[in-house]
Amino acid sequence: MASMNTAQKVMVGGVNSPVRAFKAVGGNPLVMAQGRGSKLFDINGRSYTDYCLSWGALILGHAHPDVTAAVCKAARKGTSFGTTTSPEIEIARFIVKHVPSVDMVRFVNSGTEATMSAVRLSRGFTKRRKIIKFDGCYHGHSDDLLAVAGSGVAFLPASSSQGIPKAHMQDTLSLPFNDTQTLQHTIERHHADLACVIVEPVAGNMGVINPHLDFLKTLRALTKKYGIVLIFDEVMCGLRSGLGCVQADLGIIPDLTCLGKIIGGGFPVGAYGGRRDIMKCLSPLGGVYQAGTFSGTPVVMQAGLAVLKNLTPKMYKDLNTICDDFVGRTNLVLRRAKVKAHLVNYKSMISIRFSDNPVDNYAQARQASSDKLYAKLFHHLLRRGIYLPPADLESFFVSSRHSLKDINALGRALQDFFTGRR
């Protein structure tokens, strides 16, 4: 059986995406063999309750029977045709029906492609070049969007990637999240050159940060006033709260929305959609080009549809209640024990802060993070058969297949860690 030793000889860091490599927590990354419900099984047969869930993609847990059946059925009919297929149309109709900002949609193969293409579309639509993003938000790894990004980029020494020409970065302005004044000031100053503002409406790549409502409302008002395209990157947070995504939750409707993760049922996927007049600038109707051999391929679309059909109000209510209770109960215990740490969540997206101060932006998130403590916590949990994302500043996730027993085991393990019973 192939081991991590072999993997490290033939793949960079033994992984195909940097954060998987355990660099932030130390030790050898695990090689997984199977997933079922809330559990992952490594190649040695050890099981782990999984709170990484393919980085938030698996809201129904691993190998949900409806998803597996849909995938097998679709695969038997052929895997890719390079033409439009029925499941694409069905899932597009589903998204248009439920996500308030979306009149038309385009499917791609990753969240990175979705955000990169949405930015290009905004530039084509407005004929302007500058973009605003927010410190600590991560929108995938396209050149324009890697400045001061969260997630794995947070561990690079320069908080951005090498290999990106200066010209790409010159048009990217990165501002503090939740800072309405700086936002106002910057938009007033640069509005004539601004094509778009892209934001995770609930940030998840610097841990979970809930937005201040006045910040997003001001962002919506100013972008509308100056004809700047507002892009909500809901690749992670979208569909965590309900079928309408965070925008429906908050009643703030962007011009374009990026989706990914959950809508692919565990397969590579992304989508961007929005106002009809903007989407019509996209080729073949307009002059902004974007294409893909495997975009909207039927197996992925059927997997996504099978997931979406299971996202019922009851599913969300049960899942969100379990998560809110878990966070509330754990925080109470930590407060009583005078531990300088707390959990924060947006529905079933959760993270840990090693501080008792609230965290509203990337600078505060970094202050409330500790690589050392997180590494200890990560390995403490791993020993108890619990798998969290292998880096601080990542969110962790709960699926509809996690039982109360699973969640209580995590709660106990966290309490034991913070009160010294390791």
Ligand X SMILES: Cc1ncc(COP(=O)(O)O)c(C=O)c1O
Please tell me which residue in 144, 233, 392, 406 is annotated as part of the active site.
Answer: 233
- x/- map, 126-165, ligand X, by CB under 6 A: ------------xxx----------x--------------
Q: Contact between 233 and ligand X (CB under 6 A)?
A: yes
- Between CA 241 and CA 252 the distance in angstroms is 14
User: CA geometry: angle at 12 spanning 8 and 16, to 5°?
Assistant: 105
The residue (of 307 and 334) whose beta carbon lies closer to ligand X is 307
**Whole-number minimum distance, CB 245 to ligand X, in Å?**
12
Active site residue 9: no
Task: Report how far residue 82's alpha carbon sits from residue 172's, in angstroms, rounded to the nearest whole number.
Answer: 35
Q: How far is the CB of 177 from ligand X (least distance, A)?
A: 13
Kindly tell me which of 55 and 177 has the beta carbon lying closer to ligand X: 55
For 410, the enclosing helix (H) or strand (E) is helix 404-418
Alpha carbon 39 to its chain centroid, in Å, reads 20
Q: Answer yes or no: are the C-beta atoms of 250 and 232 closer than 8 Å.
A: no
Stretch that binds ligand X, among 38-46, 91-99, 109-117, 414-422 (CB under 6 A): 109-117
Which of 179/233 has CB closer to ligand X?
Answer: 233
261 is a catalytic site residue:
yes
Q: Which of residues 51-90 bind ligand X (CB under 6 A)?
A: 55
- In whole angstroms, the minimum distance from the beta carbon of 116 to ligand X comes to 9
- Binding test (CB under 6 A) with ligand X, winner from 110, 126, 186, 320: 110
- One residue of 111, 244, 273, 411 binding ligand X per CB under 6 A: 111
Question: Is 374 one of the catalytic residues?
Answer: no
Cβ 372 to ligand X shortest distance, Å: 24
According to CB under 6 A, which residues from 183 to 222 bind ligand X?
Answer: 200, 204-205
The residue from 260, 274, 298, 411 that contacts ligand X (CB under 6 A) is 260
Q: What are the residue ranges of helices labelled H in 227-337?
A: 245-250, 276-279, 298-310, 313-336
Any idea which residues carry the catalytic annotation?
Answer: 138, 233, 261
In the complex, the residues that contact ligand X under the rule CB under 6 A are 55, 110-112, 115, 138-140, 151, 200, 204-205, 233, 235-236, 260, 270
